[in-house]
Amino acid sequence: MGCVSTNVDHKKPSPRKTNYAALYDPGSSNINPQVRTYHASKSKTFIFFKVNLDNMMPTPGNDHVQGGGLRLGVKYAIRNAQTREIADSASLSYNFKPQERGMFINYFPTSLKSGQDYFASIILFDKNKKSYKRSVININKSKPGNETYFFPEYLTPKRVPLFYNFISGNRKIRITSDLVVEDSIRMLRFPVDSLCPATPYVTEQVVSKTKDPEFISWYRIGDTVSLDTTGFYWFTTDTAITDGLGIYRESVFFPWVRQTIDMVNPVKYISTTKEYENILTNEDTKLAVDKFWYSLGETKDRSKELIRIYYNRVQQANQFFTAEKAGWRTDRGMVYVVLGAPHEVYKDAGREKWGYGATDDYQGLVFNFVRDSASLSNNVFLLIRDKRYKDAWMQAVQSWRKGYAYSVPE
């Protein structure tokens, strides 16, 4: 929506800043929490989190569970985005009975004043395995009506929020708010942009065409709603529709790749135009997809390994980067699928820098992303493209085409 123009910046990620690469690398820890913020009042903000206790279970003979149960620690620090002063911080502990399993969902209240923005660092510890995972979130409390003023939840006996701003299939949800004064708000559905992003070395100006909503309705706060059609839904009190809650609706298995149709489009990043068109037009789509991957892997086992790694990256990109379209179709998703999780991630206001390999010398790769201020969602980032990416990108694509899953050595 609108036009974004950027300048190329090839500065290396600063070693003095915190490396947030673990955010996009599920394999970096057995704990992979999901976090959501909700403003319950002008002075109180709740931070919800979800952890899978099954991933904290001890490995036979390796992990010692003291007292017979799992132990989870939470430590957070919230800073004012402008002054960098600590606004709130605490350490929390949770002890579980030996038989407790599954998803653990909880929240903690924080005291944050309206009219200001904040930056939160939240660390969850598995005290038995001595592992941890950090989450970082921007908390906007300066602009009423943004997504943190809404509480989207599944229809369950307990209040379970959507930790990602997407849903799959026809799951019914409810949206409540303690600060939005209107009884009803507008619900708009925008068509999904089905185009894949251009490769990193194509330097033409990135333009996102303005789209009009294809559906407009009214939603009464607290009512049940079913998002029946694939698209990007925007719930807003603002007639200018600049602030609100965005929810992307996809097929029943999203973000997972469990159907042949879900395997087709992502191959565009590593296939030729002829190969891709053949898959799209083939009467037997599954056979065409299998044939493509077997032509790369040459052996059945290697082909299966390529498929496993490639579509696992697609799934992870969907979880991390989905906003107004599926995560694998975004700039960050494209880089993630082809190159893998970055080794270095540095976040600043409206920017992300990804580093691959030894970024302190000429062999390292650095990708710069800037937030698309013209998009409704705050999770849309555009890559600053450069012709100098071409050799590295083609090397990665050729690696896949020769039957080897590409990853940049650290």
CA-based nearest residue to 29, from 127, 140, 126: 126
Amino acid at 171: R
Q: Is pLDDT at 5 greater than 80 in this prediction? A: no
Q: Is pLDDT at 64 greater than 70 in this prediction? A: no
pLDDT in tens, 219-266: 999 999 999 899 999 999 877 788 999 999 998 999 999 999 999 999
Amino acid at 192: V
The predicted pLDDT at position 68 comes to: 66
93 vs 86: CA distance, rounded Å: 21
Three-class SS state of 276:
helix
Average pLDDT over the chain, rounded to an integer: 89
Q: What are phi and psi of 239, to 5 degrees?
A: -65, -25
Q: Is pLDDT at 178 greater than 50 in this prediction? A: yes
The model's pTM is 0.91
pLDDT in tens, 312-350: 999 999 999 999 999 999 999 999 999 999 999 999 878
What are the structure tokens assigned to 100, written together? Answer: 């407790």
| DSSP secondary structure code for residue 267 in this structure | G
Question: Of all helices (H) and strands (E), which one includes residue 347?
Answer: strand 344-348
Q: Is pLDDT at 1 greater than 70 in this prediction? A: no
128 vs 133: CA distance, rounded Å: 14
147 vs 45: CA distance, rounded Å: 13
The predicted pLDDT at position 60 comes to: 66
pLDDT in tens, 136-176: 999 999 988 999 999 999 988 777 899 999 999 888 999 99
Q: What is the mean pLDDT of residues 276-287?
A: 95
CA dihedral 327, 328, 330, 334 (to 10 degrees): 140
Q: Yes or no: say if 324 and 374 are a contact pair by the CB < 8 Å rule.
A: no
The predicted pLDDT at position 3 comes to: 30
Question: Of all helices (H) and strands (E), which one includes residue 151?
Answer: strand 151-154
What share of the chain has pLDDT > 70, as a percent? 91
pLDDT in tens, 385-394: 999 999 999 9
Task: List Cα–Cα distances, 328 to 294, 331, 332, 336, in angstroms.
Answer: 22, 8, 8, 8
Residues 6+ apart with CB under 8 A from 365: 339, 355, 356, 357, 359, 389, 392, 408
More confident residue, 297 or 313: 313
**Local confidence band at 7 (pLDDT 50, 70, 90 cut-offs):** very low
Q: Where are the alpha helices (DSSP H) in 44-108?
A: none
Q: Is pLDDT at 80 greater than 90 in this prediction? A: yes
**Local confidence band at 382 (pLDDT 50, 70, 90 cut-offs):** very high
The predicted pLDDT at position 305 comes to: 96
**Local confidence band at 99 (pLDDT 50, 70, 90 cut-offs):** confident
Three-class SS state of 216:
strand
404 vs 135: CA distance, rounded Å: 32
409 vs 98: CA distance, rounded Å: 40
Q: Is pLDDT at 67 greater than 80 in this prediction? A: no
The predicted pLDDT at position 18 comes to: 87
Question: Of all helices (H) and strands (E), which one includes residue 294?
Answer: helix 285-297
Edge-to-edge strand ranges of the sheet holding 231-236: 166-168, 245-250, 231-236, 184-190, 215-220
Give the least confident one: 68-77, 236-245, 397-406: 236-245
Q: Is pLDDT at 111 greater than 80 in this prediction? A: yes
Pairing type for strands 245-250 and 344-348 reads unpaired
Q: Is pLDDT at 199 greater than 50 in this prediction? A: yes
The predicted pLDDT at position 195 comes to: 87
Q: What is the 3-state secondary structure (H, E, C) of 107-130?
A: EEEEECCCCEEEEEEEEEEECCCC
Q: Yes or no: say if 78 and 86 are a contact pair by the CB < 8 Å rule.
A: yes
Q: How many residues does the chain have?
A: 410
Q: Is pLDDT at 4 greater than 60 in this prediction? A: no
More confident residue, 403 or 211: 403
134 vs 41: CA distance, rounded Å: 26
